[in-house]
Each structure stands twice: as C-alpha cells, then as structure tokens.
Chains A and B, each alone.
Chain A
C-alpha cells in the first residue's frame, strides 16, 4: 500500500538554510494532509496540516504547500535549526471521513550546525 510516498529517506541541510521535504500521494480522495515530526523513542508529534481547499499553510518557520493537480505536498522549514533534526512523516486522510491516517515512510532530516 503506497498511497503516500516520501521518496527521500534522508536530507542534510546546513543550519540557517531552508529544508524542503517532499511527499506524493496517489489517492485523489485524500482531503487533509499533515506533517508529523518524530524523535527517537518518542511518538510522532503534530507539526502542521493543510486542507485540500488550500494550497499553502504557514506556521512560524514551517510552511506546507499543496499541489493537488500534481498530488504533491512539501514542507518548508526556514531557517533550519539543529533541533529540527528528526524524522518527518507526511500523512493523509479523507477517504473514510475518519481520522484514519495513511503515513509515508518518513524522511530523516539532519540539520548541520
């Protein structure tokens, strides 16, 4: 089941620069998208979300962009900080109307001081 894909398993970025994490999905019925951050030995922590009626949502250093025609979303972190180093999961929902989230495999972000 590859309904949500994160094709980059890892990403390294210099502190202060922009981090761009990408996510693709295949199911056009998805209407709500989320990014979660996960540190080792912890559960996923909600970061930011976007509804399919929008194409951009911003929260501080984090911005999520949604391109529905391309079935693609991205998370921009600027400026990147060493504390942002974690695994980032993209997730999508909407098929059933419930909160059954479909997760990507994650991208490990390393921010180099």
Chain B
C-alpha cells in the first residue's frame, strides 16, 4: 500500500537555526498537510496545501513557517528560526479529494528537538 514518507525521522537543531522537514506524499494525492504534536498534547493542524498554494493555515503557522512543493514529489515544511517551543513531532499527510471526505494518510513523523 502506498504511504507517505518523511525524512529525517529525528532532527536536532539549535534555537534560531532554520530547519527543513521533508515529505513525499502519496503519488496520486492532490492535497497535502502538516500537523504537529507537542509531547503530551493533541495533534494540531498547521497548514493545508493544494494546487501549489496554501489553502488553509492555523494560528500556529506564523511567519516563521513556510511550505513548498519544489518538484512533483516532495512537500517541505521550513521553520525559519526555530524556538524551543517548536519541539514536537511533525506529521505530513496527504489525501485524494477526488471523492468527498477522503481521509488523510499520515507519515510516521519527524521528531524535531530544538535545544
């Protein structure tokens, strides 16, 4: 079964540094998402992306965050200047919206640790 893949599985960075989290969504999917889960908290929506532009974003997704689909397969999340509170599991997801309410398929996540 096709799956969403994320790299790296674990990223450690110093506060103030830029990080790029990478995702390869399922190939025929059209909608892409980033969610995050701070340890012990809920999985939270960050951003959705369709047709090469952001379709929706949450309050969490401030100017420090950006997303890009640089080619036909990758979908990236960039955090420009990381803060300690950005430490979390970041999940990429994709869905096929050709049918109504297609469920999201999640990757295994990237654990980001900001020191």
Binding site for B on A (CB under 8 A): 32, 34, 36, 41-46, 49, 51, 89, 91, 93, 96, 98-106
Given contacts A42-B108, A102-B45, 8 further A-B contacts (CB under 8 A): A42-B109, A43-B108, A44-B91, A45-B106, A46-B104, A51-B101, A100-B48, A103-B43
A101→B48 CA distance, assembly (Å): 10
Binding site for A on B (CB under 8 A): 4, 6, 31, 33, 35, 41-45, 48, 55-56, 58, 91, 93, 95, 97, 101-109
Query: In the complex, are the beta carbons of A99 and B33 less than 8 A apart?
Result: yes
Q: Is the interface of B mostly helix, strand, loop or mixed?
A: strand
Query: In the complex, are the beta carbons of B45 and A46 less than 8 A apart?
Result: no
**Contacts A32-B101, A43-B91, A43-B108 hold; do A100 and B42 have CB atoms under 8 A apart?**
no
Across the interface, name the chain A residue whose C-beta is closest to B93.
A43
What chain A residues lie within 8 Å of B108 (beta carbons)?
A: 41-43
Query: In the complex, are the beta carbons of B4 and A49 less than 8 A apart?
Result: no
